[in-house]
Amino acid sequence: MLNTLKGKMATLNSELSYRMKIWQHKSKLPALELGDRLIVDTLKRDGAYVTTLADLGIPATSEMLQAAYHQLNRVAAVNNSHLNERLPQIYTVTELPEFFNWGSNNRLLKIVENYLGLPVAFQGVHLRKDFPNEHQFGTLLWHKDSEDRKMVKVIIYLHDVEIKHGPFEYIPLSLTSYPRLNSYRIDQKLRQSGYLGINDEEVEKIIPKSAWKSCPGKAGTVVIADPRTALHHGTIRTEARSALFFVYTTNPPKRPELCTQYWDDTFPKPEILQEIA
């Protein structure tokens, strides 16, 4: 009982400290252009914002894309058609300058900082290829990420993504955030799953499918999302999907041990790709 009480007090103190830091940093937030303010406001309201690389206009986008396709072409082919669950191929490309420079663009960091309300840590970049699967498991289940209290992922489609490719799908925060009853029901289901995720049938009992927001798009589509606050998943796909994932948290994040995957040896790096190409 005493240890439980101490744990709850520590959590409360941590949250109070977090709220105080946001209040103290409010006057230090960088100014935004009108279009960038729209991104931040939409993230706060819905949990995701869909745009394109062309509309974002981040410098060195063409160099970043060229590097992405170059690395994608070097990814070793896998024979996984016989598997019941085909895991994604994930490669860490954070150290390549084309990705690091794009992801650490000052304007992009300003957008993220205004959303998070605190100084930003650019954690890194994953190049990811997801394969066809017939049932939900892993990130195909509805879930929320755990790295921080709030975070941002910038997802870039590297080819046209239709429904058959399993686009990113989320539920607007207006339907799942506190104090709405649905938020408690969703969180209960996530706890019961051990935070591994919940399937379509379970979610549809709480949130009608008509309210789910699928995000298909042409190559160069950008989904800017908070995967911590927005319930989301990748949908069942019959064809492979390739995308980049740029990841941002506060500095420091609530759970830094979950962020090392974006720069350590959890997944292969470009030099590993070179050896197997």
The model's pLDDT over 145-171, given as tens digits with 9 standing for 90+, comes to 999 999 999 999 999 999 999 999 999
How far apart, in whole angstroms, are the C-alpha atoms of residue 152 and residue 109? Answer: 10
Q: Identify the weakest region by mean pLDDT among 38-47, 123-132, 197-206, 262-271.
A: 262-271
**How many domains is the chain partitioned into structurally?**
2
Cut 0.75: pTM above it: yes
If asked whether residues 117 and 208 sit together in one domain, one would say: yes
Contact 167, 135 (CB under 8 A): no
Domain match, 180 and 251 both = yes
Task: Give dist(CA 254, CA 249) in Å, integer.
Answer: 9
Rounded to an integer, the average pLDDT of 270-276 is 57
DSSP H/E element including 115: helix 106-116
pLDDT mean across residues, the chain: 94
Residues 6 and 104 occupy one common structural domain: no
Beta-bridge mates of residue 48: 225
CATH number of the CATH domain containing 261: 2.60.120.620
* 270-274 average pLDDT score: 61
- How many residues in total does the chain contain? 277
Which pLDDT score, from 0 to 100, does residue 180 have? 87
pLDDT > 70 fraction of the chain, expressed in percent and rounded: 95
- Asked whether residue 59 falls in the same domain as residue 186, the answer is yes
> What is the model's pLDDT at position 1?
64
Environment class of residue 239 by beta-carbon count within 10 Å: exposed (0-12), middle (13-18) or buried (19+)? middle
